[in-house]
Amino acid sequence: MPAGTLYLIPVPLGPVSPEACLPPDTLAVARRLDHFVVERAKTARAHLKAMGHPQPLQSLHLEELNEHTPHAAIASLLAPLRAGHDVGLLSEAGCPAVADPGAALVMAAHRANIPVVPLIGPSSILLALMASGLGGQRFAFHGYLPAKEPERSQAIRELEKAARRDKATQLFIETPYRSAALLDALATTLSPDTLVNVGADLSLPSQLIQTRSAKDWRDKTDTVKDRLVVFGVAA
C-alpha cells in the first residue's frame, strides 16, 4: 500500500473566519482529512470546526506533537501515513513547522520517503517582513530571544551587529506577556537610529504594523502589551 501524504495546514492567526485568510483549496484538504497531528487537541478541534469540517469532531483522529513530546515518540506519529492515510499537521496558529514543533514530524516524513505538501495560509513572520519596509532580500529569523537580563540585552546587541555586518533584517517573536518588556529593551539597548518594526495581531482587525527608530519606540510599550508580536530590526 502506498504511503499517505502529510499536508501542512495553516490556520488563522487569531479569532477571524478561516475564509478570510485561507484559500478554498486549503480548506478543502482540511475538511476531507480525518487524521491530524496537532500542537494542542482542544485548539485544533476549534480550528477544524471553524473550517467547517463535515465529520463529528470527536470522531477525528488527533495526535498531539508539542514541546513536551519525546523525540522517540515522533516515529509512531507516522503510523497512519505508513498505513496509507493522509494526515494534516496543524499548529496553534499560522503555518505549521515554522517556529513550531511540527518540524520534527516533517523531517521524520522525509526520512521515511513520505510525501509532504505545504498548503497556503498566513505566516506572521512573513507578513511582518513584507510590511516592515526593512528589506526582504536578506533576513534571519531567531525565534524567541532570552527572557532575562543580561542575556536579553546581549542578544539584542548581537542582532544589531549582524544586521549591520550582513545588511540583513533580523526577525524574532515574543509572547504577549513579555512583548512590552522586550520592546522596552530594544528601545533602550539599540543605537537610537536603528530601525525597529513591530507587527502585532497580524491579519486581525486589531493589527498594528509600524517601523520607527529605536529612540522613537521609547515609552510606547503599551502599544504591544498583551499581544503576540513579531519584531524586525535593521541598521
Indicate whether 62 and 148 sit together in one domain: no
CATH of the domain at 229: 3.30.950.10
Per-residue pLDDT of the chain (235 residues; tens, 9 = 90+): 789 999 999 999 999 999 999 999 999 999 999 999 999 999 999 999 999 999 999 999 999 999 899 999 999 999 999 999 999 999 999 999 998 999 999 999 999 999 999 999 999 999 999 999 998 999 999 999 999 999 999 999 999 999 999 999 999 999 999 999 999 999 999 999 999 999 999 999 999 999 999 999 999 999 999 999 999 999 8
Same domain, 20 and 92: yes
Domain boundary among 74, 103, 118: 118
Whether residue 1 is contained in a domain is answered as no
Same domain for 11 and 109: yes
Total domains in the fold of the chain = 2
Residue 16 belongs to some domain of the structure:
yes
Q: Which residues contact 163 (CB under 8 A, 6 or more apart)?
A: 169, 170, 194, 233, 234, 235
pLDDT of amino acid 234? 96
Nearest to 175 by CA among 229, 222, 139, 134: 229
Reduced to 3 states (helix: H, G, I; strand: E, B; else coil), residue 129 is helix
Whether residue 41 contacts residue 49, with contact meaning beta carbons closer than 8 Å, is answered with: no
Give the pLDDT confidence score for residue 1 in this predicted structure: 75
pLDDT of residue 235: 82
DSSP string, 132-147: H-S-SSSEEEEEEPPS
Query: What domain range includes position 157?
Result: 124-234
Query: What per-residue confidence (pLDDT) applies to 135?
Result: 87
Same domain, 160 and 228: yes
Asked whether residue 182 is domain-assigned, the answer is yes
Q: Specify if 46 maps to a domain.
A: yes
CATH classification of the domain holding 29: 3.40.1010.10
Do 102 and 162 reside in the same domain of the chain? Answer: no
Residue 65 is predicted with a pLDDT of 95
Q: Please identify, among 87, 118, 149, the residue that sits at the C-terminal boundary of a domain.
A: 118
Look at residue 174 in the predicted model and tell me its pLDDT. 96
> Do 168 and 82 share a structural domain?
no
Q: Where among 71, 95, 118 does a domain terminate? A: 118
Inter-residue contact 101 to 66 (CB < 8 Å): yes
pLDDT of residue 229: 95
